[in-house]
Amino acid sequence: MDWSLVFGNAVAELISPTTAAYALAAIGLAVHFGYTGLLNFGQAAFMAIGAYGFAVSILNFGFSFWGAIAVSIGLSIVFALILGIPTLRLRSDYLAIVTIASAEILRYVVSTTSMVGLTGGSNGLSAFGFQFYDMNPFPAGNYLFWPFDVTEKELWVRVVGWALVILASLLVLVMMRSPWGRVVKGIREDEDAVRSLGKNVYAYKMQSLILGGVLGTLAGIIFILPRAVQPANYGTGLTFFIWTVMLLGGAATVLGPVVGSMVFWVLLSLTDGILQGLVNTGVITFLTTDQIGPVRFILIGLGLMALVVFRPQGIFGNKKELQFNV
């Protein structure tokens, strides 16, 4: 087994576009749950809106790159309003039910045969990133700095993706240290107390839902730039992976979702590489290569369970501020 290749592939996941997209989506989820206490189980829906809003605007309506981004953000705001208006005055579990249901409804709608002309149906959409790559300032060629060996297009996606992650982190950091941030954290702890101080709890919740949703939408755009848009990518599994990333790093932190995404994808790549090597060399005989994928998720799940038991606040979380009751 080539250990240098296994560890090289794992380290390469640290700055992959997928890691950046998950980090950005988890930052948005941290705004929802970590800071405001909103149970959003439909972050995949916001990512799907970003992906389809961007791709459809360019391919079907001829929008520019920036126009497509504006359309995606506008759609995510409308979607957040649709979710929030009937639910945010009620208990948090109503929002959880509505978000997970709406995410599945959205996924089924875009994949139906009647939507083939617009969304590509179950085949999805591709060839929508040409305007983005036309803005690439890096000369054509390969850029090698171990273990990263990328083309100019792959480097451009990584630079833009991680720049967005940094900007989103700074934005959330500034907002959560502002009076607005102190109010939403107060809502998380005791919204009746905040309401008694004359604050419009409903409005603050809606603003938080919109902000986190927009970050999820931007994550959806970054997620599809190196690949096609496929409706199968936006199932409930995506949302729960984002929850895993956020909880791993720490829900009520800015740095936690970023590091959580890095740790999550490095561990997935590392366990996959090690299991593949052990199976191929005959060290493990009770597994086949087809079973490696599910097994690595089982191992990561067991690790997350141990984290929740022994460090419920996550890697960077503050135990006094937020933790799970186990």
What pLDDT was estimated at residue 325? 40
Distances from the Cα of 121 to the Cα of 22, 79, 124, angstroms: 24, 21, 6
Q: How many Å apart are CA 273 and CA 206, to the nearest integer?
A: 43
Q: How many Å apart are CA 224 and CA 221, to the nearest integer?
A: 6
CB 325 within 8 A of CB 267: no
Kindly indicate the confidence band of residue 301, based on its pLDDT and cuts at 50, 70 and 90. confident
For the chain, report the end-to-end CA distance as a whole number of angstroms. 40
What pLDDT was estimated at residue 65? 96
Kindly indicate the confidence band of residue 323, based on its pLDDT and cuts at 50, 70 and 90. very low
pLDDT tens digits along 9-37? 888 888 999 999 999 999 999 999 999 99
What pLDDT was estimated at residue 280? 82
CB 261 within 8 A of CB 22: yes
What pLDDT was estimated at residue 203? 95
Residue ranges of domains in the chain: 16-235
Both tokens of 297, joined, read 């998720």
pLDDT tens digits along 261-271? 999 999 888 88
Report how far Cα 246 is from the mean position of its chain's Cα atoms.
Answer: 9
For 304-311, which contacts have Cβ atoms below 8 Å and span 24 or more sequence positions? 304/244, 304/247, 304/248, 307/247, 307/248, 308/247
